[in-house]
């Protein structure tokens, strides 16, 4: 009702248990708490929280301008309303090794189930933009060791993201992934791989779950969950998809309003009032105060 009834510890254990299964975990990206609740209602196994989405919500490009407090605050808002485990994008950890250590503990306190740290130089940029630069392997490993050493809950997942593929090539991606697992990473997130065969090779090469990023308009083809599962991928994220859908509908709605002077022609495309109230579970608040929920929502709205 108000918040999730499942403890943070249980959510983290749930993610570990899901990873030990045979099925791929699909993680749509929530752009706010309401969208996280809708993801859960549609039967997905976990929720992803994208740094690019948080930047976009703030009207900023994804070039390392957001702060730890902004990202952890949004992650907490999303995590507390869903029974699903959440994985958050923590960029480079908002600094170097000591900053990474603090980031881990702040994210633990925010109630998320895991986070990923990348090996880009500061300031970072979107993983599907050109002109990225990565730190040397020793620095990347130092960040992951700091993350692992600083966590207090052993079930809190530390994911190592590497952006090496488009900077120095696939061979270094594989070698770096192996080293990151050796440093304690629970999973590997290889950004911007070129083809399905590269996912398969990486899955075979590393002794850890591999994450695929199916972001639209990027450098990687949009493979189906079944295709990714067949080559060994354990998690697939859709970081910006729901935001893009929502913003596309927003633009079309505003164009309609400007053109027609009313939105009556597009109301069939809108979420109804009754559906929104159902998602928000208005009726359950009557348990505390009958004056809160004392009305009828008609099916037509």
116 is catalytic: yes
C-alpha 144/C-alpha 180 separation (Å) is 7
Q: Which of 74, 108, 119, 126 is catalytic?
A: 126
CA atoms within 13 A on the CB side of 291: 0
The phi and psi torsions of 88 (rounded to 5 degrees) equal -115, 145
* Bridge partner list, 235: 25, 211
Q: Which of 12, 40, 89, 165 is catalytic?
A: 89
Q: Which of 213, 223, 238, 244 is catalytic?
A: 213
191 is catalytic: yes
Element (H, E) at 172: helix 170-182
DSSP 19-62: HTSSSPEEEEBPSSHHHHHHHHHTT-S-EEE-HHHHHHHTT--S
Q: Which of 125, 128, 145, 161 is catalytic?
A: 161
118 is catalytic: yes
Q: Which of 116, 125, 151, 165 is catalytic?
A: 116
42 is catalytic: no
3-state SS, residue 65 = coil
286 is catalytic: no
99 is catalytic: no
Q: Which of 118, 119, 163, 186 is catalytic?
A: 118
Q: Which of 91, 119, 163, 198 is catalytic?
A: 91
C-alpha 48/C-alpha 31 separation (Å) is 9
C-alpha distances (whole Å) from 158 to each of 150, 270, 290 are: 11, 38, 44
62 is catalytic: yes
Q: Which of 48, 74, 119, 125 is catalytic?
A: 48
3-class SS shares of the chain: helix, strand, coil, % to 5: 45, 10, 40
Q: How many CB atoms lie within 10 A of CB 106?
A: 20
289 is catalytic: no
- With 0-12 / 13-18 / 19 or more C-beta atoms within 10 angstroms meaning exposed / middle / buried, residue 193 is buried
Q: Which of 40, 119, 191, 198 is catalytic?
A: 191
Listed in sequence order, the residues at least 6 apart from 251 whose beta carbon sits closer than 8 Å to its beta carbon are: none
Residues marked active site are found at: 48, 62, 89, 91, 116, 118, 126, 161, 191, 213
């Amino acid at each position: 009702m108000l918040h999730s009834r499942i403890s943070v510890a249980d959510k983290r254990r749930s993610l570990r248990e899901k990873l030990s299964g045979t099925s791929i975990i699909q993680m749509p990206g929530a752009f706010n708490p309401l969208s996280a609740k809708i993801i859960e209602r549609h039967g997905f196994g976990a929720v992803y929280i994208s740094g690019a989405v948080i930047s976009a919500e703030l009207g900023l490009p994804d070039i390392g301008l957001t702060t730890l407090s902004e990202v952890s605050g949004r992650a907490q808002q999303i995590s507390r309303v869903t029974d699903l485990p959440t994985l958050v994008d923590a960029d480079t950890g908002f600094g170097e090794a000591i900053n990474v250590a603090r980031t881990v503990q702040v994210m633990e306190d925010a109630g998320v189930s895991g986070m990923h740290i990348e090996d880009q130089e500061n300031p970072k940029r979107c993983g599907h933009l050109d002109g990225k630069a990565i730190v040397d392997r020793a620095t990347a490993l130092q960040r992951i060791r700091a993350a692992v050493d600083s966590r207090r809950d052993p079930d809190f997942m530390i994911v190592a993201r590497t952006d090496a593929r488009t900077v120095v090539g696939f061979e270094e991606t594989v070698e770096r992934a192996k080293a990151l697992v050796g440093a304690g990473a629970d999973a590997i997130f290889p950004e911007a791989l070129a083809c399905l065969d590269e996912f398969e090779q990486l899955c075979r090469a590393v002794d850890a779950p591999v994450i695929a990023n199916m972001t639209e308009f990027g450098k990687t083809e949009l493979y189906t969950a079944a295709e990714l599962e067949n080559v060994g991928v354990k998690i697939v994220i859709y970081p910006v998809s729901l935001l893009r859908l929502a913003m596309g509908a927003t633009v079309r709605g505003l164009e309609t309003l400007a053109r027609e002077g009313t939105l009556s022609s597009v109301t069939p495309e809108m979420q109804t009032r009754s559906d929104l109230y159902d998602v928000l579970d208005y009726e359950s608040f009557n348990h505390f105060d009958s004056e809160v929920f004392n009305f009828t929502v008609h099916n037509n709205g």
